């Protein structure tokens, strides 16, 4: 049962239009102790009451991972309790199972999950909490990166993905046509869409100064449609290839209203059940790490105190 889920936002990155690794690790150092203290206070427990410490081993920015790993190792050692090293991408999948007291359906196993964020885009066949097979992954950029890059070209502040979603609601998704990635199998690719969108905006500005401001809604809608079209095409292929009856999405981009709508439509057409986590558990959060850690603890898969972070796991 979820008792607290405290998140420290990092507004410092907005100034630079994207995540700066060094600033991210410094922010982690600054916030980690106050955040843990606040989480314990909100949960109404003392650190001595903890049964284990779960932390993100990777993938991610190595500086930020080092801060979290060192803190978790020290806390577990001081309290003499188990240490649990969590795969960040797998934890996103476990967001479906967070029990926060609200009644909502949760998927049975197996199910197909589309995990989409700023750094990762994967199709995952989920057989159990500890048995996940990546059956498709991006060959270059992640979907979230394409959203943020498009937003940056339009002059929108970071993080731009939510703003693209907002402006796309009043735009014409067919005003501008972007290329469809010609990637075989279940793998994904977003670099072509991103490059074509940058060229479209730059060309429009050359021909008509102020183009990106006057056409912003339509540009956002066209970019969002191209990204989601690619995701849904791969999802549909995976559903049929693996004959699944349940599908879901997770990760920061899973908060996108267009993607959520299209996934529900796909589920209806393909005759499969669709599961979407609440917005609060789509973006990075401690609750999903705890959920993944819970299953590691149950299975006895404990980390040793010499565990080190890994920037890339998959």
Place of tokens 């993938």: 59
Residue 147, token pair as written in the block: 């959203």
pLDDT-based confidence at 22, cuts 50/70/90?
confident
The CATH T-level fold of domain 11-93+284-299 is Nucleotidyltransferase; domain 5 (3.30.420)
Question: Can you give the pLDDT at residue 14?
Answer: 59
Query: How confident is the model at residue 170, as a pLDDT?
Result: 97
Residue 311 pLDDT grade (very low, low, confident, very high; cuts 50, 70, 90): confident
Give the confidence band of 73 by pLDDT, cuts at 50, 70, 90: very high
Alpha-helical (H) ranges within the chain are 21-43, 62-79, 88-94, 143-153, 161-168, 191-207, 211-214, 216-242, 257-270, 286-299
Element (H, E) at 17: none
d(CA 92, CA 277): 10
Contacts 24+ apart (CB under 8 A), 213-216: 213/155, 215/175, 215/176, 216/154, 216/167, 216/171
pLDDT at 8: 77
Q: Where are the domains of the chain?
A: 11-93+284-299, 105-277
**Residue 12 banded pLDDT, cuts 50, 70, 90:** low
Mean pLDDT, rounded, for 220-229: 98
Alpha-carbon distance of 228 to 211, in angstroms, equals 24
pLDDT-based confidence at 26, cuts 50/70/90? Answer: confident
The answer to whether the CB of 133 falls within 8 A of the CB of 127 is yes
- Is 80 exceeded by the pLDDT of residue 175? yes
Pairing of strands 246-250, 53-58: unpaired
pLDDT of residue 27: 82
Q: CA dihedral defined by 146, 233, 292, 2, rounded to 10 degrees?
A: 80
Instruction: Assess contact for 249 and 92: CB atoms under 8 A.
Output: no
Mean pLDDT computed over 69-90? 97
Residue 117 has pLDDT above 80, yes or no: yes
| Per-residue pLDDT at 60 | 87
As a whole number, mean pLDDT of residues 208-230 equals 97
pLDDT for 119: 84
Answer yes or no: same fold for 11-93+284-299 and 105-277.
yes
Average pLDDT over residues 192-218: 97
Tell me the pLDDT of the chain averaged across its residues.
93
Confidence category of residue 23, pLDDT binned at 50, 70, 90: confident
Which CATH architecture best describes the domain 105-277? 2-Layer Sandwich (3.30)
């Amino acid at each position: 049962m979820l008792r607290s889920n405290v998140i420290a936002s990092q507004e410092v990155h907005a100034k630079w239009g994207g995540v700066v690794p060094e600033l991210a690790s410094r922010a982690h150092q600054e916030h980690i102790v106050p955040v843990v203290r606040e989480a314990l206070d909100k949960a109404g427990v003392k650190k001595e009451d903890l049964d284990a410490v779960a932390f993100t081993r990777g993938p991610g920015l190595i500086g930020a991972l080092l801060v979290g790993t060192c803190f978790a190792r020290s806390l577990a050692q001081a309290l003499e309790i188990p240490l649990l090293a969590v795969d960040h991408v797998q934890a996103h999948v476990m967001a479906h199972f967070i029990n926060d007291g609200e009644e909502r359906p949760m998927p049975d196993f197996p199910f197909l999950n589309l995990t989409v964020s700023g750094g990762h885009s994967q199709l995952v066949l989920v057989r159990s909490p500890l048995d996940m097979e990546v059956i498709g992954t991006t060959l270059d950029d992640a979907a979230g990166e394409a959203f943020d890059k498009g937003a940056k070209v339009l002059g929108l502040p970071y993080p731009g993905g939510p703003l693209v979603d907002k402006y796309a609601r009043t735009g014409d998704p067919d005003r501008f046509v972007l290329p469809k990635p010609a990637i075989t199998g279940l793998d994904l690719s977003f670099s072509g869409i991103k490059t074509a969108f940058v060229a479209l905006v730059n060309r429009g500005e050359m021909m008509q100064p102020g183009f990106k401001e006057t056409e912003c809604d339509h540009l956002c809608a066209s970019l969002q449609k191209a990204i989601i079209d690619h995701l849904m095409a791969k999802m549909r292929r995976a559903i049929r290839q693996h004959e699944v009856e349940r599908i879901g999405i997770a990760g920061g981009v899973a908060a996108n209203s267009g993607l959520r709508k299209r996934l529900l439509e796909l589920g209806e057409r393909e005759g499969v059940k669709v599961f979407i986590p609440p917005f609060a558990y789509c973006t990075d959060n401690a609750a999903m790490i705890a959920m993944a850690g819970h299953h590691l603890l149950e299975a006895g898969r404990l980390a040793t105190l010499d565990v080190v972070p890994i920037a890339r796991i998959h």
